[in-house]
């Protein structure tokens, strides 16, 4: 089992700034999706090949994974994917990233590290301060997607998001997935594992109002 990275470690206070979107993407005007905790990047690598009318950014705290993932996209003809190294929480602390967040159509948190012990809850990636930042920076109509196999973590994340009165929950059955960042419902690595092991998945979609 892999060793979890402690996001509160001082090694992660500084993170790589994301360059302006017109330097990163072939067409910076395409809808933009951000995946937090993108790990080895396989999910976004597949998504971005299938959905060339979207741009994707992955943020991951394990630097080696980001370096390897970026190597895989260097040779690609179509530039609609970028991986950034860093602690997503600190990334959002940087005020120059506010305009980037405003350009985002959706954000996914797929199977974040659960940090089960109460004294470690502050290491969870979804924090009230972070959600507050998103609620003040994301544009109306933009979406947050969460997924986990840990019921207690799901309840914590949902509560934290809905405590911001600017986010409202959408029902999955009314949601038009074919218009979203993941129309073909591609699964992340953790999701494949969870499905293979018949574990329950808890998921929610929230809209900024």
Ligand X SMILES: C[S@@+](CC[C@H](N)C(=O)[O-])C[C@H]1O[C@@H](n2cnc3c(N)ncnc32)[C@H](O)[C@@H]1O
Nearer to ligand X, 43 or 54 (CB): 43
Task: Count CA atoms within 13 Å of residue 184 on its CB side.
Answer: 10
Least distance to ligand X, CB of residue 206, Å: 18
Going from the C-alpha of 103 to that of each of 3, 33, 97, 179, the distances in angstroms are 34, 9, 10, 17
Closest distance of CB 143 from ligand X, Å: 17
Supply the minimum distance, in Å, between the C-beta of residue 114 and ligand X: 8
Nearer to ligand X, 103 or 186 (CB): 186
Instruction: Write out the DSSP string of 76-122.
Output: -SS--EEEEES-HHHHTT-GGGHHHHHT-SEEEEES-----SGGGGG
Residue with smaller CB distance to ligand X, 80 or 188: 188
**Helix H or strand E encompassing 202:** strand 202-208
d(CA 188, CA 101): 23
Based on the residue annotation, tell me whether 113 is a catalytic residue of this protein: yes
Of 16, 35, 93, 113, catalytic: 113
Structure-block tokens of residue 107:
């954000």
Closest approach, Cβ 193 to ligand X, in A, equals 8
Interface with ligand X by CB under 6 A: which residues? 5, 7, 36-37, 39, 59-62, 87-89, 110-113, 125, 188-191
Nearer to ligand X, 36 or 138 (CB): 36
Q: Which residue is nearest to ligand X (CB)?
A: 37
Do 107 and 37 meet the contact criterion of CB atoms below 8 Å apart?
A: no
Which residues belong to the active site?
Answer: 113
């Amino acid at each position: 089992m892999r060793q979890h990275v402690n996001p509160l470690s001082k090694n992660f206070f500084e993170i790589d700034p994301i360059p302006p979107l017109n330097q990163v993407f072939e067409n910076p005007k395409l809808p933009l999706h951000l995946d937090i905790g993108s790990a080895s990047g396989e999910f976004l690598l597949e998504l971005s090949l299938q959905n060339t009318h979207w741009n994707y950014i992955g943020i991951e705290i394990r630097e080696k994974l980001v370096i390897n993932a970026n190597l895989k996209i260097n040779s690609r003809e179509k530039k609609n994917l970028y991986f950034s190294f860093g602690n997503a929480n600190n990334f959002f602390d940087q005020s120059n990233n506010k305009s980037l967040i405003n350009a985002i159509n959706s954000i996914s948190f797929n199977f974040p590290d659960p940090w089960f012990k109460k004294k470690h809850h502050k290491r969870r990636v979804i924090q009230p301060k972070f959600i507050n930042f998103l609620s003040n920076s994301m544009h109306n109509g933009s979406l947050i997607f969460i997924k986990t196999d840990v019921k207690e973590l799901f309840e914590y994340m949902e509560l934290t998001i809905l405590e911001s009165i600017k986010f409202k929950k959408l029902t999955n059955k009314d949601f038009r997935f074919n218009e979203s960042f993941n129309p073909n419902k591609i699964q992340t690595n953790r999701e494949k594992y969870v499905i293979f092991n018949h574990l329950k998945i808890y998921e929610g979609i929230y809209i900024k109002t």
